[in-house]
Amino acid sequence: MDLIPKFMRNSVLLIVRSYGIFVGFAVVVIVVSILEQSFFTLDNLLNIVRQSSIHGVMAVGMTFVILTAGIDLSVGSVLALTGIFCASFEHAGWPVYLVLLTTLSIGAAIGLFNGLVITWGRVTPFVVTLGTMSIARGFAHIYTGARPISEFGKHFQYIGGGYFLRVPIPSLVFLAVVFIAAFVLRYTRLGRYTYAIGSNERAARLAGVNVGAFKITAYVICGLTAALGAVILTSRLNAAETTAGAGYELNVIASVVIGGTSLMGGRGSVWGTLVGALLIGTINNAMNLLLISSYWQLVVRGSIIVAAVLLDRLRQE
């Protein structure tokens, strides 16, 4: 311990505490850029943002939920179910805006269901959303007989596959969602109350905040972003499958946690989530580029999650 002077140790700790995730992200980017020259190119960077956009968009909604000290495990299944609906509306020849609107509403409705059961029924979010996870997946299988729905119109495919000034549309959607969420969390009553509920629910209640309503809103937002993720995925893949999004909740929650939002609620930001989601996308991309064996990829992904949680611990001390 004495090898490192005390003032240096302190300043390193300070940097890790306040900017840990950003520093970590920068280190990963620099190291991979040195190892593989095709990594740090505009094309590949845009590619990473696009690949991160699906779990990224969902992670923004999840940030709201986790800020209230809740959790939503159903996002992967909600993605599958809304994706299936989205695909069948598109197949039925509905105009794209109507497809979007209806799909997002269904996602929001599932979120509303989660929120109502959690607040009115006073059940822990973990259990309720675990149930919804299974229910939504079940309905997706029932609705299609587990068959994929594929081949959509040009306009719809543009959402996931199109470009605006060389920038992929999904990346723009992702960034737009992050900006809106950041604004809401910072400047609106909804945002401030979300933090307040997460830091101390009792105090918020005593201060006259309608805790239930704002909690429900968080789950509605989470359902909404899951449906948005579904629209992007369905459009990108040109197909919707009932098995889509299995295990996505892990990536989504990991993005939020890596981004420094505390699972205890009340602390964190969507900017962290943005970086967390990009970090996961970057790691996956880098491991492909560097041709790392698939067995090691699992180890690396898991280690990053553990490291992020430890970092969060460090920050609390």
Partner 1 sequence: MKKIVLSCLIIVLVISSIVLPDGCRRKPKDKDRIVIGLAVPSLSHPFFIYLKKNITDEAEKLGVDIIAADAEDVAARQMSIVEDFIVRGVDGVLISPIGADSLVPAVKSLNAAGIPVATVDRKVNGGDVLVHVGADNVEGGRVAARYIIARLGPDAGVIQIEGTPGASPAIDRKKGFEEEIAKTGLKIVASQTADFNRAKGMSVMENLIQANRDFQAVYAANDEMALGAAEALQARGMSTAEIILIGYDAIPDALVYIKDGKLNATIEQFPGKQARQALRILVEYIRDSKIPPASEIYIKPLAIDADNLDQAERKLE
Of positions 88, 102, 199, 284, contacts partner 1 by CB under 8 A: 284
Nearer to partner 1 (CB atom), residue 1 or residue 291: 291
Is there a contact between 157 and 235 (Cβ–Cβ < 8 Å)?
A: yes
What is d(CA 119, CA 218) in angstroms, rounded to the nearest whole number?
11
146 lies in the binding site for partner 1 (CB under 8 A): yes
Name the segment binding partner 1 (CB under 8 A); options: 17-25, 59-67, 231-239, 249-257: 231-239
What is d(CA 226, CA 58) in angstroms, rounded to the nearest whole number?
5
CA-based max dimension of the chain: 70
Number of residues lying near partner 1 (CB under 8 A): 39
Q: What b/e readout covers 20-49, taking b as 16+ CB neighbours within 10 angstroms?
A: bbbebbeebbeebeeebeebeeeebbeebb
Of positions 109, 192, 238, 309, contacts partner 1 by CB under 8 A: 238
Considering only residues 43 through 62, tell me which ones interact with partner 1, judged by CB under 8 A: 43-44, 47, 51, 54
Contact flags string 6-45 toward partner 1, x per CB under 8 A: ------------------------------x-xx-x-xx-
Task: Identify the three-state secondary structure at position 101.
Answer: helix
158 lies in the binding site for partner 1 (CB under 8 A): no
What is d(CA 74, CA 316) in angstroms, rounded to the nearest whole number?
28
Closest approach of Cβ 246 to partner 1, in Å? 8
For the chain, count helices (H), then strands (E).
13, 4
Residues of this chain that interact with partner 1 (CB under 8 A) are 36, 38-39, 41, 43-44, 47, 51, 54, 117, 120-121, 137, 141, 145-148, 150-151, 161, 233, 236-239, 241-244, 284-285, 288-289, 291, 294-295, 297-298
